Chains A and B, each alone.
Chain A
Amino acid sequence: MALESQTDVSTLTATQQSVRAQRHVLLTLSRVWAWVFLIALIVFFSLSVSITSEGDVNFLTLRNSQNILIAITPVLLMGLGQTFVIIAGGIDLSVGWVMGLSSVISALLARDLVARGIDPTPAIFLAFAGGIAASGMVGLINGLIIARLKVPPFIVTLGVSFIVRGVALLFSGGQTVAGLPTQLRDFGNESLLYWVGGGANQLHFLRRPEVTGEQLRALDRILGWPVVITAIVVAIAIFLLHKTQFGRHTYAIGGNKEAALRAGVPVDRHTILLYVMSAVTAGIAGLLHSARFSGGSPTAGDPLLLGSIAAVVIGGVSLFGGVGQISGTVIGALIIAVLQTGLVMLGVEAFWQFIVVGSVVILAVLIDQSRDLIIGRAES
């Protein structure tokens, strides 16, 4: 017996074959459109920025690229955990305020531990551990209510988001926590590599060169620590989602939860872990915020929540679950940041950013849906 495909390539007419070829091109295009779109944006802004500024300002510079990378770190970190959660068929609306909570807790700990005479470096480590632990607790609560009590994730994480907001504001007294050790600020603002331009053209590794005056203006930080940390989290996320059983189970739960359960996938435990992960990546974003701005801000993440979900969606992750990749989320975050930076450099009023980003989100989903139309479904 044979369950064979009903079409045989050799019997196809020329027109059928050309339709197939067209479909193939469309399909490939719909898969890589985000890359193409990102490159097109970069080319567009490079040309238009230098034309409108008559060559005084350039979009494609080392400094600007580093600014964009730094800018996307919190959005991307939140998006990474969110990618796992959404692929498994859930959603986490609490990450914005979790980032704020982590920022506040880590700042309070860093300030108070140093004030009690602990050396800044171990104090900062303890502060980071505290921020992560607080975030992980929130994720655990989300996961337990969703997995054990079977309350829809949208509702649970919405409710928890309000609770965490209250807690973060209570801890901080509604203000930015200031007076942090300078080592924390250095960590947030220094980098892996330094480039001294302006004729000197030197590359320094790890250690910031002692430069003053004119040379200071020519100093570029390459791969700031927040970018390095985010890159490490991206690498871990890619490994987990695409190479391990954990990732496979994430897809299986998003594809058919009942089937995963019957096949012996520990669905409840996995779900809890996913929300802990999501909260922890948001927590890391909070730590980096405290370091970069040398202050713990409860409201740091709230405005970024929807941007991070937009990045995930632009990256091709389906809100119905089961579909998506980490690389998509990275590209989604880059597209948003390039759009925002580019529009600012063109002198477009800032409010237009929202209109453009919103349009791109809808466009992205339209393209993903058209892919299903192009492929069609096997006749059953």
Chain B
Amino acid sequence: MEPVLSLRNILKRFGGLTAVKHVNLDIFPGEVVGLVGDNGAGKSTLIKCVSGVYHPDEGEIQFMGQTMAFSKPIDARRVGIETIYQDLALAPNLNISANIFMGREAKRRYFGGLIKTLDEEKMLSESRRVIDSLDIRLPNFGAQIDKLSGGQRQAVAIARAVYWNARLMIMDEPTNNLGVPEQRKVLDLIRKLRESGVPVILISHTLPDVFAVTDRIVVMHRGHKVAEKQTAQTDSQTVVEYMVGARSDVRAD
């Protein structure tokens, strides 16, 4: 099977500091990969190279078999790499459908396109469709985002990515600041994405979540990828040892 995303020898420097050191990583369709590591291990930097926030100094990013060179996050989103950030990137004062369509609003045209108005009906029905397809239940669909709970907001962010045909989903600490029932619901959503064939890279400090939902776990330590394990064939004790640098599958510099 061809990988959806293939990272070859990625290296990223910030002045004298090398945050990511020669990392190779393949992500296959319908796979959930956990990316773990201590603070400063380089996982966020690596992910920001994929989502177009940073440009790697060395190495190659291949997406759907093509070499990519992103200069802005919007470039990555155009090819279908959606990143769901911790702060969710939703406007709290707008409702669900306005958020799903933010920046790409559906419009009605009048007088040959001279006057364009928002097509609220279309945005509402499309939003409902995608929310239903993910089995998300929201009590009041017209509500503003700031009236929703953390888990519901997370669900809206995921629904937005799905609606805009995400072909790779990157989730940065999606269960942070959520109550236990809501954490479980977000993990269910990740499984749902896997069923639909969308691969997910999950960045998390919460190892039980990582073990609950991933197929594979990649561990980073001081910029290196120090381990890549099938989730079923490892345990959290081992992963922690890799995370703190007590074990490594690569030789240190």
A3 touches B118 (CB 8 A): no
- Contact among A5, A251, A262 with B94 in the assembled complex (CB-CB below 8 Å): A251
Asked whether A200 is an interface residue with its Cβ less than 8 Å from the other chain, the reply is no
Asked whether B133 is an interface residue with its Cβ less than 8 Å from the other chain, the reply is no
Asked whether B91 is an interface residue with its Cβ less than 8 Å from the other chain, the reply is yes
Chain A residues near B88 (CB, 8 Å)? 259
Chain B residues near A258 (CB, 8 Å)? 87, 89
For the complex, what is the distance from the CA of A373 to the CA of B117, rounded to whole Å?
34
A255 touches B92 (CB 8 A): yes
- Contact among A4, A245, A255, A256 with B105 in the assembled complex (CB-CB below 8 Å): A245
- Contact among B94, B98, B151, B192 with A3 in the assembled complex (CB-CB below 8 Å): B151
Q: Among B6-14, B176-184, B215-223, B227-235, which stretch is in contact with chain A?
A: B176-184
Chain B residues near A4 (CB, 8 Å)? 137, 139
A375 touches B94 (CB 8 A): no
Asked whether A91 is an interface residue with its Cβ less than 8 Å from the other chain, the reply is no
Asked whether B16 is an interface residue with its Cβ less than 8 Å from the other chain, the reply is no
Chain A residues near B105 (CB, 8 Å)? 245, 248
Asked whether A254 is an interface residue with its Cβ less than 8 Å from the other chain, the reply is yes
A378 touches B147 (CB 8 A): yes
Closest CB in chain B relative to A253 CB, distance in Å = 8
Name the prevailing secondary structure of the B interface residues: loop
- Contact among A247, A249, A264, A323 with B93 in the assembled complex (CB-CB below 8 Å): A323
A256 touches B91 (CB 8 A): yes
B89 touches A259 (CB 8 A): yes
Asked whether B130 is an interface residue with its Cβ less than 8 Å from the other chain, the reply is no
Closest CB in chain B relative to A251 CB, distance in Å = 6
Q: Given A263-B89, A322-B92: A3 and B137 within 8 A (CB)?
A: yes
Asked whether A252 is an interface residue with its Cβ less than 8 Å from the other chain, the reply is yes
Question: What is the interface of chain A, defined by CB distance below 8 A to chain B?
Answer: 1-5, 243-245, 247-249, 251-252, 254-256, 258-260, 262-265, 322-323, 375, 377-380
CB pairs A–B below 8 angstroms (24 shown): A2-B137, A3-B138, A3-B151, A3-B152, A4-B137, A5-B139, A5-B140, A244-B117, A247-B118, A248-B118, A251-B94, A252-B91, A252-B102, A252-B103, A255-B91, A263-B89, A263-B104, A265-B103, A322-B91, A322-B93, A377-B147, A379-B149, A380-B151, A380-B178
| Interchain residue pairs A-B with the least CB separation, the first 5 | A255-B91, A263-B103, A5-B139, A264-B103, A322-B93
